[in-house]
Chains A and B, each alone.
Chain A
Amino acid sequence: MIFQDFLFYFFSAILIVSALGVITVRNPVNSALLLVLAFVTCAGLWLLLEAEFLAIALVLVYVGAVMVLFLFVVMMLDINLDRLREGFWKWFPLGAIISVIMIAEMSAVFMGKHFGLEEMPNPSPQGADYSNTKELGRLLYTEYVYAFELAAVLLLVAMISAIALTLRHREDKKSPNPSKQVKVKKEDRLRIVTMPSEKKE
């Protein structure tokens, strides 16, 4: 148990420092990289809670795909820090309200005693051959299948609308059509002309 406690504090310390870094560091690329570090340490914490599927999915989806594209965009942007800071005091009240709400929500977690948390049984530790992935899959595709499908359709709609918003048809576009290219025969392109050989002057 001592070793697990040590790991917990180790990961938590890195998580807090890197999360603070995300919002304080000046360079947006460094900030995005610190966010990646925060995700990875968060996955480590979830592994300690025996949620190995969620931990690996976090690394796979957020670290492996979402943040790569995010970095991609951040690196391409030419961000002017002075202009970003212009409206700081104008937006400060709104930001303050949102953060107060978030703090209140998070502190509700610590007040579980007043919501009857003690009546719930403690999660029992599972054996080594217990597969978290299988259980999650079973729940998602049986009990919560409608919610799951709704979420999937929502994402599909979002994806199609994003494509529809940015898709432009240009008249002067010159792009090859691979299926036409493949179908081309020798006769379509090449004409062999027979002509008598010429004499040297």
Chain B
Amino acid sequence: MENFEQLFVEIFGGEWGSMLFSLTTNLLFIFAIVVPLLLGVAYLTFAERKIIAYMQVRVGPNRVTFFGIPWLRGWGQPIADAVKAIMKEIIIPTGANKFLFILAPVLTIMPALAAWAVIPFSPELVLADINAGLLYILAMTSMGIYGIIIAGWASNSKYAFLGAMRSAAQVVSYELAMGFALVCVLMMSQSLNLGDIVNGQQGNSMLNWYLIPLFPMFLVYLISGVAETNRAPFDVAEGESEIVAGFHVDYSGMAFTVFFLAEYSNMILVATLTSIMFLGGWLPPLDLAPFNLIPGFIWLLLKIAFVLFFFLWFRATFPRYRYDQIMRLGWKIFIPITLVWIVLLGLIMQLPESMRNSFPLNIWF
């Protein structure tokens, strides 16, 4: 690394050389995050179709082979879908606000990718190790709603507008419960830095993970995450049977695909955050020989895949919520639960030292 920095300094001169060097390394790092993420999104769509198909006793996509290898039938499907989407025409409706219509998908994917900057993949591997990491994540995910609202309004269509309104109200309500669940996490870890949050769950086994002391918060966060990403059973923003396809009814081709990419990368983001904050991030479930030899990055990937499986399972299992039931769940059930848990945690943290050091509280506090 230092040799390369020397090289840059020699070519471009002192100050500019080191500045260009940090620019290049950061760009390469961003590239190394975004490319696997988008590949992951492509194959998540494939996994979704396959898993739901098997749950419903079907086979799922099995026509497009991957380089003609017979036992990888269906594995070429995401690539074929992407090529098809790129070839299609982007139709802009006559009454639409052209600038905002094009801007909306960009505004949706931007926060979905930007939030990945602070995610730690292993103890050293993180793009921006900032103190306020958790706050940054909350701020970024709360900006994703603009793409949906603007898309709904700019399309100049009643269906799209209804979808946008539903989605806006839903996301704002669930953000509160999500935020309160995260307040519990940061009370446990006493830090907003995601790396420190994982390190706070270090111990001999998975008993130390925040999953156990914060189990209700884990459920609240996971369900709010499903609602936040507008996934089934909370997909009233799309509601095919009522409002055709909601906010993206007038989008076609690549513009539609960008919404699609954003939805799935948000899903992966929520799964990653759940595994970092409740399932111990890169930590192995048991600090014993066969488990702790596997690199932390693999553990994180396994946990993300585990949580993502739940997302797909929900979609295959539950019918869509009615709108008033969604609001009731968010405001009247989740927010009171999280508030009670915050008070409870605060009381435990104020207990005398000797009581906190006795079993079972000494595992977590």
Give the interface size class of chain A.
20 to 34
Residue of A nearest to B325 (CB): A178
A171 to B100 alpha-carbon distance, docked (Å)? 43
CB <8 Å contact, A56 and B132: yes
Q: Mark A117-132, 1 if CB is under 8 A from B, else 0.
A: 0000000000001111
Residues B139 and A72 in contact, CB atoms below 8 Å apart: no
User: Which one, B140-148, B250-258, B291-299, is touching chain A?
Assistant: B140-148
Chain A residue numbers with a CB within 8 Å of B132 are 52-53, 56, 131-133
B175 touches A29 (CB 8 A): no
Q: Is A56 touching B136 in the complex (CB atoms < 8 A)?
A: yes
A52 and B130 contact, CB distance less than 8 A: yes
Interface centre among B135, B136, B150, B175 (most CB of A within 10 A): B135
C-alpha gap A169/B72 in the complex (Å): 61
B139 touches A56 (CB 8 A): yes
Contact among A72, A131, A133 with B168 in the assembled complex (CB-CB below 8 Å): A72
Residues of chain A within 8 A of B168, CB atoms compared: 68-69, 71-72
Residue of B nearest to A57 (CB): B135
A121 and B139 alpha carbons, distance in the complex (Å): 33
**Nearest-CB residue, chain A, relative to B165:** A72
- If over half of B's interface residues share one DSSP class (helix, strand or loop), that class is named, otherwise mixed; here it is helix
- Chain B contacts for A110, CB-based, 8 A: none
B320 an interface residue at 8 Å Cβ cutoff?
no
Q: List A contacts of B171 (CB < 8 A).
A: 68
Q: A52-B130, A63-B143 are in contact. Are A133 and B135 (CB under 8 A)?
A: yes
Contact of B139 among A33, A59, A130 (CB under 8 A): A59
A64-B135 in contact given A33-B150, A72-B169, A175-B324 (Cβ < 8 Å): no
Report the minimal beta-carbon distance from A96 to chain B, rounded to whole angstroms.
34
Interface flags for A126-155 (1: CB within 8 Å of B; 0: not) read 000111110000000000000000000000
> Is A102 an interface position by the 8 A CB rule?
no
CB of A75 within 8 A of CB of B161, answer yes
**What 0/1 readout, one digit per residue, does chain A (141-177) give for beta carbons within 8 Å of chain B?**
0000000000000000000000000000000000100
Interface size class of B (residues with CB under 8 A): 20 to 34
Asked if B324 contacts A60 (CB within 8 A), the reply is no
Residue from the set B131, B165, B325 with the largest chain A CB neighbour count within 10 Å = B131
A108 to B119, CA, bound (A): 44
- The contact of A63 among B100, B142, B161, B192, by CB within 8 Å, is B142
Q: Are B135 and A56 in contact (CB under 8 A)?
A: yes
Chain B residues in 8 Å Cβ range of A60: 135, 138-139, 142
A residues less than 8 Å from B135 (CB atoms): 53, 56-57, 60, 133
The residue in chain A whose Cβ has the minimal distance to the Cβ of B176 is A65
> What is the chain B residue whose CB lies nearest that of A2?
B15
Residue of B nearest to A40 (CB): B143
Using Cβ atoms and an 8 Å threshold, which residues of chain A touch B218?
none
Interface residues of B in 300-330 (CB under 8 A from A): 324-325, 328
Task: Confirm or deny: A3 has a beta carbon within 8 angstroms of a beta carbon on chain B.
Answer: yes
The answer to whether A178 and B142 touch across the interface, beta carbons within 8 angstroms, is: no
**B153 in the interface, Cβ–Cβ < 8 Å?**
yes
Closest to A71 in B: B149
Q: Give the nearest-CB partner of A43 in chain B.
A: B139
Query: What distance in Å separates the Cβ of B26 from its nearest Cβ neighbour in chain A?
Result: 14
For B182-212 the 0/1 string (1 means CB < 8 A from A) is: 0000000000100000000000000000000
Let me know if A36 is at the binding interface, CB within 8 A: yes
Residues of A within 8 A of B150 (CB): 33
- Measured between alpha carbons, how far is A68 from B169 in the docked complex, in Å? 9
Interface check B19, CB cutoff 8 A? yes
The interface residues of chain A lying within 8 Å CB-to-CB of B165 are 72, 75-76
Closest partner residue, chain B, to A53 (CB atom): B132
Known: A68-B146, A178-B328. 7 other contacts (CB 8 A): A3-B19, A36-B146, A52-B130, A65-B175, A69-B168, A71-B149, A133-B131
Q: Which of B's residues lie within 8 Å of A, judged by CB?
A: 19, 100, 130-132, 135-136, 138-139, 142-143, 145-146, 149-150, 153, 161, 164-165, 168-169, 171-172, 175, 192, 324-325, 328
11 A–B pairs (Cβ distance < 8 Å), ordered by A: A60-B138, A63-B143, A64-B142, A68-B146, A68-B168, A71-B149, A71-B168, A75-B149, A75-B161, A75-B164, A132-B132
